[in-house]
Each structure stands twice: as structure tokens, then as C-alpha cells.
Chains A and B, each alone.
Chain A
């Protein structure tokens, strides 16, 4: 592989990692931005999506396996998210520390539940044949560089989810309700908007996307009871760097963290790369404590 080829393949790895981080972080960013809730079980919803995809793959449904797996993972995680919101998050409203502890408890329970149901060892989901290949870049002067189709597929899924959410939030009537609640919850309520219902739906969307992330991830890595833990830390970094509650910021941050992580891994070991990544993020939030994108409303609150 040429030097240029190495750069190209790490670039691609970075984008690929960034797209998974985006799917993992979107829900966190949405629910933190709207409800000021940090859901420590978010990673376990990703894990749950992975296992749901695994279960869907054992059903005899032929070519519909992959879409069915993605759908089941998203819907299952969203339903579980609704349950979590109604039974835990909503009851601890305005008590962020209690919410943190309670959802952390839920995350431990879910990990133990997965261990009991599926065992401590990972389960595999094999991507369908049509995603098995890779696109070689030899013809454009990059011999030895290949873009695996399955990773391209995940990038596409992340792109579609991001675009869909952006459209709904900025163009639809319901999206306008979300933005109103985010800017001034009390005023929104005083106009007849049921802000708790808006919270519930946003929370479900966020957990549903986490489930989707888990199903996508299952195509390239084994699903284990602790798979959520290994991604959630990065997802939190993405949310912090991106600025709370901003889709654009979250997307930019996911890409930045993905690229940086892939690039650091060229020079050092994986664990040292993680440490360096953390150092860079810490340096960044010294410069921009509120992330890449700061919302107008927050800027006004400060004024």
C-alpha cells in the first residue's frame, strides 16, 4: 500500500467510525438538548439493538433479513426507550443526578440480562451476500485500498437518519413544537403544547436510533453484553464536542472524533490513541466549552 493509500484508507476508516458514532450519539444529544437528561443506559439500547438484529437474523425471512433486522432493532429499542422514559426518566425530572444513577442501574441490569440470555461471549451477525464485497480503489491509483460495502452501507444509513431527523425537526409542524419546547418549555406549555409528550417522542427517537446503531454495528463486530460500554464513551465525547442539542454540531463532532481516532491509531496503539483522543477533546472544550455549535437560545440566556 502506498503512503497515499494509507491516508485514504484511514480517512475511510475515520468516516466509517464517525458514522457509527453519529448513530450512537444522536439520541444522547437529542435528549440532553431537550430534556437535560443524561441517559446512562443509552449504550445498552445500542447493545439491545445488536441482539435484536441477531434474533431477526435467525428468522427464515430470506432476502428481507437485513431490513427486518434494522427495523426490529430500531422499533424494539424505541419501545424500550418509551418504557424507560415513562417509568424512570419522567419521574426524576429536574433531578439530573438521580436520573444519572437510575439509568446507570438500568444499564447494569440490561448488561446482566443480556449475559443471562445470550451468554458472555459475543454472537455474530453475518452481513448478506450483497454486502460482502468491497470496492477496490486500484483503478484510481490507490492499489491495496478497498472500501468494504458493509461499511459504505452503514455510512449511508447514518446519512439517511441524519437527513431524515434534520428534515423532521426543521420542516415539520411537529419539529416546530420540539424547537419551541427546547427554547422555552414553560411558554410552550402555556400555549397548549404537551411538552412531556414531546419529550417522550424525542426520547423514543433517540433510543430507536441507538438500536439502529447496534444493528448496524452487529454487521461488522460481534454483539456482546458490554458492546454498549465501548461505544458510549465515544458517544459522550461526540455530544460534548458537538454542543448540546444541535444536529449539525453532533454530526460534525462525530466525523471529527472518528477521523481523529482513526488517524491516531496509525501512529500508536489503540489504547494510547484513546488517551490522546481524550486529551485533544479536553483541550478543545477549554477553547470552546459549549461545543462546536452553540444555539441562539443559549447565547441569549447568557446575555
Chain B
């Protein structure tokens, strides 16, 4: 049980009276990666925001490293190891790349070895961030901003990294860099990865487990090694 970095037990979420996420259960162990697939509007982003603590769970439990955090505020979850790369990247446009990265240090408060400076491995994984340190984030290209967003999440020293459609609107060469970076992050940093993706090839190259959502529910799940991406395509295309 507690060997999982994250476990969801029957998590639901709603906007007012309308429930958009229904009783989702899943788990990811440290160093593992799981992908959530599904069309637009099926509740993927809402589910991730609920895990991060930016949206209340209507029912169910969210267990982080064995601790129930269902009621915890988002900033405390970040301090307990939830790193978030939101859809649209969420970089602070009028802060520089370096300032954006340094904001991630806030999550280290109260942790051993916390505070200080942006760790060097962030720049090793994303060398472009080193070159662009002084640039305003609002001036970055989509791929650069995405790398900044992931790099910034790494500054928080996550045990669980949550990414919402990181390949959306990004050129193929950068998509490959991001896939490579995620492999390093899992292997060397032992971070669990929970990815939301619509791009099947990318999803298959990153995660060993997949879940397909439809109408707020998980309607199919399996191992990417055992099934071809085509086997879920009918659930994703119109």
C-alpha cells in the first residue's frame, strides 16, 4: 500500500452540482510512469487539479506516500512532493527564467536540505534553461516554456511529477527532448510520473501503464508493453 508514491481511492470531483470525475482509483509507484488518455472534456485536467489540491475532491481519498492528503492545501502537497506541470505550462510571464525556477524553492521550506539555490541537475536535464536564465518567460517559445515548467517542478524535488499534455503545441524535436528528460527523471531521481496525454506515440514511449478516461470514468486500462497503441485509438478519436 504505502509503497506507492500516489494512490487514488474512488476520487470524484465536481463543478457545483455537476460531477465531471467519477470514482477514479489508480496508483503509481516511485520511478514508475502512468498515462491517462482521453478526449477533450472527459475530466483529465480536473482529476489532476484535484490531485494537486487546486480543486476539492467531492469524495474518495488521495494518498501521498502513504499519507492521506485529501484535505490538504495545494502548497502543503507541493511541500510534500507533488510537482505540477499544468496544461498551458503555467510559467510566470513577467518573471525571468531564473526567477521562475527560484519560485520552486518555496516547496523546500521545512524539508531537510531545503532552501538554497536551484540544483544543477535541472540545468543538466534542460541545458536550454541555463542559456536563457535572464530572459523573461513571456518571451520563450512553446518548447522552451514547457522545459521551464518541467524544470521548475523539478526544483521542488518532487516524488510525484504530474504533467498535463506537455506535448500540446510543441515541435517534434522538443517532444523527443521531453521524453528523454522524463526517462532520466524517473530513472535517476526515482520520481513517479503521472502523465495526461492525447499524443499516443508519446504516451507509449513514456509510461508502462495506461488508463483511458471517458465521461469522467476510467473505461480501459492496461500495460503499454502488452497492447499496441492502436487498441485504444477508437476511444480517443471521434
Contacts and interface: CB of A to CB of B under 8 A. Distances in A.
Interface of A: 173, 176-177, 179-180, 183-184, 186-195, 296-297, 300
B95 A180 contact: yes
Interface stretch (B6-14, B102-110, B178-186, B220-228): B102-110
B99 A176 contact: yes
B51 to A, nearest CB: 11
B92 A193 contact: no
A276 to B, nearest CB: 37
5 contacts: A180-B95, A180-B103, A192-B78, A296-B93, A300-B93
A188 B93 contact: no
B95 A193 contact: no
Contacts of A195: 75
Given A177-B106, A195-B75, A190 B84 contact: yes
Given A190-B78, A190-B82, 8 more contacts: A176-B103, A183-B92, A183-B94, A186-B86, A189-B54, A190-B53, A192-B75, A192-B107
Given A176-B103, A187-B86, A188-B103, A194 B94 contact: no
Contact of B94 (A179, A189, A191): A179
Contacts of B53: 189-190
Given A176-B99, A187-B86, A193 B94 contact: no
Contacts of B99: 176
Interface in B111-162: 138, 152, 156
Most chain A CB neighbours (cut-off 10 Å) among B75, B82, B108: B75
B103 A177 contact: yes
A249 B171 CA distance: 40
B47 interface: no
B160 to A, nearest CB: 12
Please provide the 5 A-B residue pairs with the shortest distance between their CB atoms, ordered closest to farther: A192-B107, A192-B78, A189-B74, A192-B106, A187-B90
Interface string B15-34: 00000000000000000000
B86 A194 contact: no
B73 interface: yes
B93 A192 contact: no
B63 interface: no
Contact of B156 (A173, A184, A192): A192
B114 to A, nearest CB: 10
A192 B106 CA distance: 5
